[in-house]
Structure 1
Amino acid sequence: MTSLSTFTLPDHTQLPDSDGKFVKNLQEHPQSILITDSIKPVLEQLHPDGQYCIGQDSGIYWRLTDPPEKGALSPDWFYVPNVPPTLEGKMRRSYVLWKEYVAPLIVIEFVSGDGSEERDKTPPSQGEVGKFWVYEQAIRVPYYAIYEVLKEQVEVYHLIDNTYQILQPNERGHYPIKPMGVELGIWQGWYQNAELPWLRWWDAQGNLLLTGEERAEVERHKRERIVEKLRTLSPEQLNALGIDAQMLD
């Protein structure tokens, strides 16, 4: 018999990293990439030491159960500040709260059904525990967002006095996530060859946070405009600027 003094709680390498379920729809994967790619420059500014973790459809173990996966939830997207992205040189298989003691700052769920699963407040005393209850009462995630592509909306909750309060959108229709200095909202446009009401980030001034590909496209257009302006100059004017006219051909 193992005594309590010698019992060691399992870590991420000893717990299941999948429950064998399929991703519920084909939009979830590109949606995760979109919000991860576009928020990366912000997180690099917030964490110049690189100490942050992003989970995409990854498990968060919040209690020890048998079987272990019963004590885990797999949010579609979450961000944890001030923790290393790797442990002992290995990528995390899951995020284990009893080993970290740091809750995610924000959790985002992508609704595939009617949204009841994401809003389920059932406590453990009444049977199968609900996601909403776990995020609010067990993990205590400061911000919880429920994104519904079919309804073209996102619902954001803020933990205040241990209770989720629904946030009201600002004048831009966005939801400020103040610790990150960004806003969350719906953007109608093309991404990954699909025009949908995508979930996206904006900065505190209301500027859309771009993906790496979008930033490269903006820079390309800037360069093209500069070249077009230079082509209106005479060879003498270009020479005065130290530019060879042949370089613009």
Structure 2
Amino acid sequence: MTALLANPTANLIITWPLLPADFELPDDPVEDENQPLLAAALRQAISSIPQLMEDALVVSNFALCAGINFPLSTNKEQRTICKAPDWMYVKPVEPKNVSQVRRSYTPHTQGTIPQVVMEFLSETYGEEYSVEFTERVGKWFFYEQIIKVPVYVIFRATTAHLEVYTLKSERYNLQDADANGRYWIPGLNLFLGVWEGSHEGRTGYWLRWWDTEGSLLLWSEERAEQERQRAEQERQRAEQERQRAERLAERLRQAGLEVEEGD
């Protein structure tokens, strides 16, 4: 499948080839310890919702690929370009064989375009805002002009700074948060926002999901704690009912009335 990018500065030809088995993926190190935790927390919160996980690819630091030529370069050959978003959600994707290990994802060939990609900023400059597209391709340009991901999220966990961009008229536009400071994410049909607290041994700012009713999607330990509290409340209610029944029975005995067991 081939598409011609309508861009007066770069007449790019884009294809969607499967990544060759011998293709060497970049082995870039994770930029800081927060990034894997942020990504895992986003996935964990939706993992218990079957309609979000079925036929979906929910990954972090995973190769998103396309074939691109470089018309301004001396080398006119088409090259496979891969970027690894810090978090990505795609639904639906083509099923893979049980024995298959997915190494990368190519839209249009293996499934649809990702509904959302996210980048978590570190203290060092990266490609998150890069629109370079001559000898190499920056992440912003890749997500916006090549893949055309409808929602691009940029988050700096140290300061809680969150930017959500949506694709309109072939360009990313910065969105305004709602009255609760959250952003609607189509495709997941959830709100995304910043939450402060502790999780997995880390205290700080996190990205979290809220449903259409405004309820926070809980992590597994929060669901377990919620169940523990519910069970404790049931135990307390049962104990209060037992004590009430005992007081009633005692009053009846004092009144000279017989109380049969089980009454």
TM-score range, shorter chain: 0.7 to 0.9
Instruction: State whether structure 2 residue 216 is matched by structure 1 residue 208.
Output: yes
Higher helix fraction (1 or 2): 1
Tell me by how many angstroms 1:236 deviates: 8.7
Name 1:63's counterpart in structure 2.
67
SS in 2 for 1:180: coil
Does 2:173 correspond to 1:169? no
- Counterpart AA for 1:87: K
Change (3 A) 1:32 1:116: closer
Deviation at 1:18, TM superposition (A): 3.8
Residue from 137, 140, 144 that aligns with 2:145: 137
Measured on the aligned residues, the alpha-carbon RMSD in Å equals 2.7
Calculate the TM-score normalised by the size of structure 2: 0.76
Residue number in structure 2 paired with 1:36: 43
1:22-52: CA deviation from partner (whole Å, max 9, x where unpaired): 111111111111000102234x2246xx211
Aligned to 1:3: none
Residue from 232, 238, 242 that aligns with 1:234: 242
Radius of gyration: which is bigger? 2
How far did 1:19 drift?
Answer: 1.6
Q: For residue 116 of structure 1, report the CA deviation from its aligned partner.
A: 5.6
Please tell me whether the aligned partners of residues 17 and 58 of structure 1 are also in contact (alpha carbons under 8 angstroms): no
Q: Tell me the number of residue pairs that the alignment of Structure 1 and Structure 2 aligns.
A: 224
Take 1:15 and 1:165, find their aligned partners in 2: how far apart are those partners? Answer: 37
Percent identity of paired positions between Structure 1 and Structure 2: 28
- Cα distance in 1 for partners of 2:236, 2:211 equals 31
Residue by residue, what CA displacement relative to the aligned partner does 1:133-159 show, whole Å, maximum 9, x if unpaired? Answer: 110000000100001112212100011
- The unaligned stretches of length 5 or more in structure 1 are 1-8, 239-249
- TM-score, normalised to structure 1, is 0.80
| Cα distance in 1 between the residues matched to 2:196 and 2:24 | 33
Q: Secondary structure at the match of 1:62?
A: strand
Summarize the Cα distance change of 1:13–1:36 in structure 2 as closer, same or farther, 3 Å threshold: farther
**1:151-174 CA distances to partner (integer Å, 9 max, x unpaired)?**
212100011121111110000000
Cα offsets for 1:55-74 (capped at 9, x unmatched): 211101122689x9961000
CA distance in 1, matches of 2:190, 2:160: 20
Question: CA 1:178–1:103 in structure 2 vs 1: closer, same or farther (change >3 Å)?
Answer: closer
**Structure 1 residues 110, 180: closer, same or farther in 2, change over 3 A?**
same
Out of 158, 161, 165, the position equivalent to 2:166 is 158
- Answer yes or no: is the 8 Å Cα contact 2:158–2:204 preserved in 1: no
Q: Distance in 2 between matches of 1:146 and 1:11?
A: 28
Name the CA distance, whole Å, in 2 between partners of 1:10 and 1:178.
27
Q: Does 1:112 align with 2:125?
A: no
SS at match of 1:41: coil
Equivalent of 1:11 in 18, 24, 31: 18
Aligned to 1:87: 96
